[in-house]
Amino acid sequence: MNKTTYRTFGATLEDVARDIVRACRDAAGTIATMPWPAMLVCCIGLAIVFTLITSVLPLALFLFLVFMAIKLVIVAFAVNSRRKRGDDYQL
């Protein structure tokens, strides 16, 4: 990696960091000037959004594991029945 590429990458990281800091400062300024009822509504809305986002992922993982377990049980019964019949079954 030559120096120009490293400097360009470093400049990109500095720009990203500067943009993140600016966005945080703007958000803090907006929150500081909000009246209490509007802030309460925003906090409740954010709590609902975060609850929906974080509850969907565990539900999806749980359903995946349940269906995978059901599939394994069905495959185990199928392989067992083929072995009992004497079919030459290769896994």
Question: Where are the chain's structural domains?
Answer: 1-33, 36-91
pLDDT tens figures, 29-59: 888 888 888 888 888 888 888 887 777 777 7
Whole-number pLDDT of residue 7: 67
Whole-number pLDDT of residue 91: 56
Global pTM value: 0.44
Tell me what the pLDDT averaged over the chain comes to. 82
Q: Return d(Cα 76, Cα 88) in angstroms, integer.
A: 16
